[in-house]
Amino acid sequence: MLNGFNNWLLQRLSGVVLTIYTLFLVAYWMLQADSNIKIWQQLFATQWMKDFTLIALLAMLSHAWLGIWTVITDYIKMPWLRLTTQVLVAVALLMYLIWGIQILWS
Amino acid sequence: MLKNSAHAKLSKSPRKLKDELVRDKPVNLNLFTIAFPVTAVASILHRISGIILFILIPYLLYVLQNIVAGTEIFMPFNKFILWIIFVPFIYHVLAGVRHVIMDLGYGEEKNIARTSALVVFVFTALISILLGYYLC
């Protein structure tokens, strides 16, 4: 399950999901007669948009992890420093996930 | 046993001799002296924009938090910050699309790849300008 090919595929698929999410936001914005905070607040109050946003958030965190992991392994060669950096990044991404869920559902 | 240098060299294994040659060969790592093809610039900008976006994730969540709470987040100053954030995002998406197209096997030849890199630059600029216009 955790192999190079699946990582490669997940990075592409998560990118596609994020692109679709972004295009949806742009389309929503363009199709409004007005541009204010209310239209956005209403959008994110619906159940389906919260679900869509959570999926996009999961896609973003996995996409970010794979990308940053690639950069870290390219540039940080000392094992202890690389491990520390990777752990810090992973913890940060997990905190973002929890924060995102809390924003949408509390 | 002979002690002259010719024998000393011969007594080393071929692998050791090769390692020494590899280690001592000259390198030029001064990036300012290297002429990079446009595809190399496109690639490193993709990486740099990715890093920038990673660092900006908390800000995006902060904007989402304010949208859900209903506080007025789209003030002119914040719009400007958002626009500055969108530029690397637009570039990263367009360069990513180019990346996936090349993954599928299209456009991997040298001249096509260089042209597509320039196309990504031009479209990033165009969309950034359009976005700035619409945000005002």
Checking if the pLDDT of A13 tops 60, the result is yes
Residues A13 and A63 sit within 8 Å (Cβ to Cβ):
no
pLDDT for B136: 77
Note the pLDDT of residue B4.
58
Query: Residues near A31 by Cβ (< 8 Å), separated by ≥ 6?
Result: none
Return the closest-CA partner of residue A65 out of A38, A26, A96. Answer: A96
Distance, in Å, from the CA atom of B16 to the CA atom of A81, rounded to the nearest integer, reads 30
CA angle B29-B32-B34, nearest 5°?
A: 70
Amino acid A35: pLDDT: 81
Enumerate helices (H) and strands (E) in chain A, giving the number of each: 4, 0
| Closest residue to B68, CB basis, from A44, A64, A68 | A44
Residue B65 with chain A: CB contacts under 8 Å: 99, 103
B72 interaction partners in chain A (CB closer than 8 Å): 37
Q: What would the pLDDT profile of A28-80 be if each residue is shown by its tens digit?
A: 999 998 888 899 999 999 999 999 999 999 999 999 999 999 999 999 999 99
| Contact criterion met (CB < 8 Å) for A15 and B58 | no
Q: Flag whether pLDDT at B5 surpasses 90.
A: no
Contact map slice: A 23-52 vs B, CB within 8 A:
35-38, 40-41, 44-45
Q: Please name the residue that has the structure tokens 């420093």.
A: A81
**B72 contacts A37? CB cut-off 8 A:** yes
Per the CB < 8 Å rule, is A44 touching B67?
A: yes
Which chain B residues are within 8 Å of A37, Cβ to Cβ?
67, 70-74
Measured between alpha carbons, how far is residue A24 from residues A10, A21, A49, A77, A88 in Å? Answer: 21, 5, 11, 40, 32
Q: Does A53 contact B74 at a Cβ distance shorter than 8 Å? A: no
CB B59 within 8 A of CB B133: no
Interaxial angle between packed helices A47-75 and A4-30, expressed in degrees from 0 to 180 and rounded to the nearest 10: 130
Q: What whole-number percentage of chain B has pLDDT above 90?
A: 62
Closest CA to B95 of B122, B126, B125, B117: B117
Q: Which residues of B touch A15 (CB under 8 A)?
A: 96, 100
- Residue B64 to residue B54: CA distance in whole angstroms: 16
Residue A14's closest CA among A57, A53, A73, A72? A57
Q: Given an 8 Å threshold on Cβ–Cβ distance, is B100 in contact with A71?
A: no
User: Confidence band (pLDDT; 50, 70, 90) for A23?
Assistant: very high
Does B3 score more than 60 pLDDT?
no
- Is the CB of A67 inside 8 Å of chain B's CB atoms? yes
A22 and B CB contact within 8 Å:
yes
In terms of Cβ atoms closer than 10 Å to its own Cβ (0-12, 13-18, 19+), residue A68 is buried
Residue found under tokens 């972004």:
A22
What percent of chain A has a predicted confidence (pLDDT) above 70?
A: 100
Residue pairs spanning A and B at CB distance below 8 A = 54
Report pLDDT digits (tens) over B10-54. Answer: 678 888 888 888 888 888 889 999 999 999 999 999 999 999 999
Choose among B54, B64, B93: nearest Cβ to A103.
B64
Residue A40 gets the label, from left (phi > 0), alpha (psi -120 to 50) or beta, of alpha
CA distance B42 to B113: 10
Chain A residue closest to B64 (CA)?
Answer: A103
CB-CB contact of B128 with B87 (8 Å): yes
